[in-house]
Chain A
Amino acid sequence: MTQSQLDPTPRPATAGATLLEVDDLHVEFRQRSGVVNAVNGVSYTLAEGETLAILGESGSGKSVSAQAIMGILDVPPAVVRGAIRFEGRDLLQMSEEDQRQVRGPGISMIFQDALSSLNPVYSVGWQIGEMFRVHQGASRKEAKQKAIELMDRVRIPAAAKRVNDYPHQFSGGMRQRVMIAMAIALDPRILIADEPTTALDVTVQAQVMDLLKDLQRETGMGLILITHDLGVVNEVADRVAVMYAGRIVERGTVDDVFTDAGHPYTEGLMNSVPQVEAKGGRLQPIVGQPPNLAAIPSGCPFHPRCARRRLGAEAAPGRDCAVDVPPLRLVAPGREAACHYSEEVLGV
Chain B
Amino acid sequence: MDTGPPTCAGPHPRGNMGRYVARRLLLTIPVLLGASVLIFSMVYALPGDPIRALAGDRPVSPAVVKVLTERFHLDDPLWIQYWEYLKGLFQGDLGTDFRGRPVLDTIERTLPVTIRLTIVAVVFEIVIGLTAGVLAGIRRNSFFDNLVLVSTTVIVSIPILVLAFLAQLTFGLKLGWFPIAGTREGWYGYVLPGLVLASGSLAYVARLTRTSIAENMRADYVRTAKAKGLPRSRIIVRHTLRNSLIPVVTFIGADIGALLGGAIVTETVFNLPGIGREVFDSIQAQEGAVVVGIVTLMVFFFIFFNLVVDVLYAVLDPRIRYD
Interface residues in chain A, defined as those with a beta carbon under 8 Å from any beta carbon in chain B: 67, 70-72, 74-75, 100-105, 108-109, 111, 113, 116-121, 123, 130-131, 134-135, 165-166, 168-169, 179, 182-183
Q: What is the chain B residue whose CB lies nearest that of A123?
A: B318
> Would you give the shortest CB distance from A183 to chain B, in whole angstroms?
8
CA A113 to CA B219, docked complex, whole Å: 12
CB<8 Å pairs between A and B, sample of 22: A70-B227, A75-B218, A75-B222, A100-B229, A102-B229, A103-B228, A105-B229, A108-B227, A108-B228, A108-B229, A109-B227, A111-B227, A116-B219, A119-B221, A120-B317, A120-B319, A121-B243, A121-B316, A121-B318, A134-B229, A134-B231, A165-B13
In-complex Cβ contact of B224 among A100, A118, A165 (8 A): A118
Q: Mark B203-237, 1 if CB is under 8 A from A, else 0.
A: 00000000000000111111111111111001000
Given contacts A130-B228, A134-B229, are A117 and B316 in contact (CB under 8 A)?
Answer: no
A-B contact count (CB 8 A): 79
* Residue of A whose beta carbon sits closest to that of B239: A119
Within 8 Å of chain A (Cβ to Cβ): is B11? yes
Ranked nearest first, the 10 interchain pairs of A and B with the lowest CB-CB distance are: A103-B229, A104-B229, A116-B220, A72-B226, A119-B221, A117-B220, A109-B227, A166-B318, A117-B224, A100-B229
The chain A residue sitting closest to B225, CB to CB, is A119
Which residue on chain B has the smallest CB distance to residue A128? B228
Kindly list chain B residues whose C-beta atoms are within 8 Å of the C-beta of A75: 217-218, 222
Considering the complex, give the chain A residue whose CB is closest to the CB of B230: A134
Q: Which of A116, A135, A165, A166 contacts B221 (CB 8 A)?
A: A116
Contacts of B225 in A (CB 8 A): 119
Q: Are A168 and B319 in contact (CB under 8 A)?
A: yes
A119 in contact with B224 given A75-B218, A166-B13 (CB within 8 Å): yes
The reply on B38 being an interface residue by CB < 8 A is no
Q: Which of A71, A111, A130, A165 contacts B220 (CB 8 A)?
A: A111
- Whether the Cβ atoms of A72 and B319 lie closer than 8 Å is no
Chain B contact residue count (CB 8 A cutoff): 26
Question: Which residues of chain A come closer than 8 Å to B218, judged between CB atoms?
Answer: 75
Kindly list chain A residues whose C-beta atoms are within 8 Å of the C-beta of B11.
Answer: 169
The answer to whether B228 and A182 have CB atoms under 8 Å apart is: yes
Among residues of A, the one whose C-beta sits closest to the C-beta of B243 is: A121
Q: Given the known A-B contacts A116-B220, A120-B243, are A72 and B318 also in contact in the complex, defined by CB atoms under 8 Å?
A: no
Nearest B residue (CB) for A186: B229
**Which residue in chain B gives the minimum CB-CB distance to A119?**
B221
Residues in chain A near residue B78, CB distance under 8 A: none
B19 within 8 A of A: no
Which of chain A's residues has its CB closest to B140's CB? A75
* Distance of A122 Cα from B318 Cα, bound (Å): 8
Instruction: Decide yes or no whether B17 CB sits under 8 A from chain A.
Output: no
From A135, which residue of chain B is reached at the shortest CB distance?
B229
CB distance from B284 to the nearest CB of A (A): 49
Residues of A within 8 A of B229 (CB): 100-105, 108, 134-135
Contact B243 A113 (CB under 8 A): no
Cross-chain contact A100 with B220 (CB below 8 angstroms): no
